[in-house]
Amino acid sequence: MKKIFVTGIGTDVGKTLVAAILTEALQADYWKPVQAGNLEFTDTDRVKELVSNAQSCFYPEAYRFHMPASPHLAAAAENIEINPDKFILPEATNHLVIEGAGGLLVPLTAEFLIIDLIAQLQAEVILVSQNYLGSINHTLLSILCLQQRQIPIKGIIFNGPPTPSSEDYITQYTRVPKLGALLPETEINLAMVQHYAAQWRPNL
Ligand SMILES: Nc1ncnc2c1ncn2[C@@H]1O[C@H](COP(=O)(O)OP(=O)(O)OP(=O)(O)O)[C@@H](O)[C@H]1O
Ligand SMILES: C[C@H](N)[C@H](N)CCCCCC(=O)O
Ligand SMILES: [Mg+2]
């Protein structure tokens, strides 16, 4: 069974949308271990809304915080310290898509970062890269960091206006494959998620 951790080169790069498409493509289960902010409509609510297969299950977050901030700060604001031992993989017999918070070096505690959670869960990574000026640097930094920790990287999803020159540089320099691309969409709905799911499925 695949255990895929969806991380990104930063926050707001499209991880939730990509996670919804991957969940649909693999008819996988979905888990967001830490939700910071947007408790009235969480990333899990969003993915549930966008996934239409009957097989996917959605697991409750290990931690939910009100403050839309780095999880270590959001936790401190509620006088809570995140305990890494509390991140227990849901007992699933299905593929599992796990969504992080922000990028790889986002703190969960003073010592424990998202990248440490990925290593602890022994998941492979799909990295969401958004195309903007500066994103080559952010994408290479993320990949070098994962490679230094010997965390397996399944591939990259590029989000936003296509920029083949940047994408080619990144895939050639890192030797990490491109799994798919997500274009800027005006409508985000079930049909759009199904369309990308079918397109990316052969690469997953
Ligand atoms: N390709 C796209 N076309 C249109 N809108 C997009 C696209 N990708 C992302 N968005 C929108 O951009 C916003 C941020 O995306 P998303 O919530 O998926 O980011 P994220 O990386 O999951 O952030 P977080 O770190 O908070 O989990 C959302 O409103 C999402 O719908
Ligand atoms: C609140 C936001 N949407 C995410 N849930 C958390 C992003 C944390 C980013 C921290 C940082 O890199 O400075
Ligand atoms: Mg998200």
pLDDT tens-digit map of 3-24 = 999 999 999 999 999 999 999 9
The residue nearest atom 30 of ligand 1, judged by CA position, is 14
**pLDDT at position 91, please?**
87
Q: What is the mean pLDDT of the chain?
A: 97
pLDDT at 79 over 90: yes
The mean pLDDT of 86-112, rounded to a whole number, is: 96
CA distance linking residue 67 with residue 49, whole number of Å: 23
Share of the chain above pLDDT 70, in %: 100
Say what the pTM is: 0.98
Number of the ligand 1 atom closest to the C-alpha atom of 36: 26
| Helix ranges restricted to H, the chain | 15-26, 43-50, 71-76, 114-121, 135-148, 164-174, 190-200
For residue 81, which of 104, 105, 63 has the smallest C-alpha distance?
Answer: 63
Q: How confident is the model at residue 151 (pLDDT cuts 50, 70, 90)?
A: very high
Q: What is the CATH T-level fold of the domain 3-203, as seen in this structure?
A: Rossmann fold (3.40.50)
Domain boundaries, the chain: 3-203
3-8 and 34-36 strand pairing: unpaired
- ipTM of the modeled complex: 0.98
The minimum-distance atom of ligand 1 relative to the CA of 102 is 25
Distances (CA, A) of 31 to 92, 153, 157, 172: 11, 19, 19, 31
Question: Which 8-state DSSP code applies to residue 152?
Answer: -
Distance 15 CA to ligand 2 centre (A): 12
Give the pocket of ligand 2 (CB within 6 Å): 11, 36-37, 68-70, 101-103, 106
